[in-house]
Amino acid sequence: MKKRNIAVTGLLSLTMLTGVPAVNVLAAEPVTTMQAQTEQMTRGEFFVMLARAIDLPEAEAQYSYKDVERDSELARIVSKLQANGVLSGYDDGMVYPKQVLKEGEAIAMLSRALGIPEQEVPGVKSPLPSSHWAHNTASWLAAVNFDYKWDNLERPLTKQVAEALIQQMLSTSDSTKKLLEESQKAQRDVRSFRMEGTVAFSMEGNEKTLASLPEETRKEMLQGVSMNIKSTFEVPDKMYIQTSMKAPAALEKEGMDHMAFEQYILGKDMYMKMPDNLSGGMEHSSGWVKMKNGFPIDMKAMVEQMSGIPPQLEKKLFYRDLGEGKIAFQGRIDKLSDLTSMMNGMQGMTDTLKEAEGVIGSIYMQGVMELDPATKLVKRIQTQTAVTYKDNIEDMPFKRMIMTQDMKYSDYNDNLKVQLPEEAKKAKELPAALEGISASQADKK
């Protein structure tokens, strides 16, 4: 698991440091929709509309159904939707493409197409009771201000409502693009800022792997973790990050209930002050360690990369203008390699993504960002991310990780300075992080 931990940690660190998804926000063109009608929509018609609106991985095998003509366009679409968990056929071998769809069924398919997990998002109240089949899905959609009357789930789906749902969940409007372009233009002039907020992780276990472990061990492994983060950024290459968190159960047994870290990034060198309980055995008393070339990311390049996105993600990430400077976003990433073209100037991150891709099956991300009306700079961003692991990884104890973030940004261009304290200048130097990653990769050859 050591190699996998390096890869996954590297990917998540990038997201945590920026506080925003490591992808560009100018993601998708608006969907071309039919004229609004009141006539009801069949399952087959909605299958086609959905498949055209979002880019899903192709099916490796073709599924056959009694009521779908083999080798037809609908057959290919149904196979793709089933391969991606969007729908499944009935026990009688049919999918009933001519049957009228209900609104709730359409929302369920849209949610599965995006990759929304069937697990309640932490910290968000669902508009539906816990006994309702759509309770968990509704909690995710509520977090991004999904505009829908939940009493209508059993109503027959009309083409007008179908178009509205597609427009809301699987498209990016021109007004949203304009707002995002203005924000990105403003961000290019940022030279310093502060970021403060919380990050929380919760784990869903792989029951097959965990079954052989003692109950106490299972509970410890699935225990959630939350942390508070305060940071100062001085572009192009300086950062200060202060992190505090409740200690994991294993450390609580040793009398440690709280952990605090300090990090300085100067160029590509990383300085870290370890918690007192973890700094034992060091050759000095300061608690500081230095990792030369331990931060492979060029911060300036990272900011510049936010102005571009790989074409292969244009129909996977969607943004919605909520008004008053707020923008909601939702999207899926099926292959981490889709992000490699954004990693120019980020030494080592391409290899990290390749490592992580061997473990991670898919990622769903959503959130709401708030822009300052005058400056168009980001004031706050709240995100929920679900990382689903591949189910064929030996001894993988987790099925899914859910990460929630709430970050606030302030003091833009207030002449903030990041300076290394004197005690950190005497830090013990550890082997370079990149050398460790390279070594782990060499082990596989």
pLDDT digits 0-9 by tens, 361-386: 889 999 999 999 999 999 999 999 99
pLDDT digits 0-9 by tens, 272-312: 997 765 555 554 556 899 998 888 777 766 655 543 445 56
Kindly state the tokens that stand for 169.
Answer: 């969940």
Higher pLDDT, 45 or 34: 45
- Residue 351, pLDDT > 50, answer yes
In three-state secondary structure terms, 145 is coil
Kindly state the tokens that stand for 233.
Answer: 């950024």
Q: What is the mean pLDDT of residues 90-105?
A: 92
**Degrees (nearest 5) of the Cα angle 439, 336, 51?**
160
93: left (phi over 0), alpha (psi -120 to 50) or beta: left
pTM for the model stands at: 0.83
pLDDT digits 0-9 by tens, 8-28: 444 444 444 444 443 444 444
- Residue 34, pLDDT > 50, answer no
Kindly state the tokens that stand for 88.
Answer: 């499944």
Alpha helices in 201-248 (DSSP H): 207-210, 215-221
- CB distance 263 to 239 below 8 Å: yes
Predicted pLDDT at 14: 44
Q: Dihedral sign, CA of 122, 126, 132, 137? A: negative
Kindly state the tokens that stand for 121.
Answer: 């998002």
- Residue 248, pLDDT > 90, answer no
Give the Cα separation of 138 and 144 in Å (integer): 10
**Owner of token pair 């924000």:** 183
pLDDT digits 0-9 by tens, 310-346: 556 678 889 999 999 999 999 998 887 766 655 555 5
Q: What is the mean pLDDT of residues 65-73?
A: 90
**Owner of token pair 């490591």:** 22
Kindly state the percentage of the chain with pLDDT values over 70: 77
Radius of gyration, alpha carbons of the chain:
24
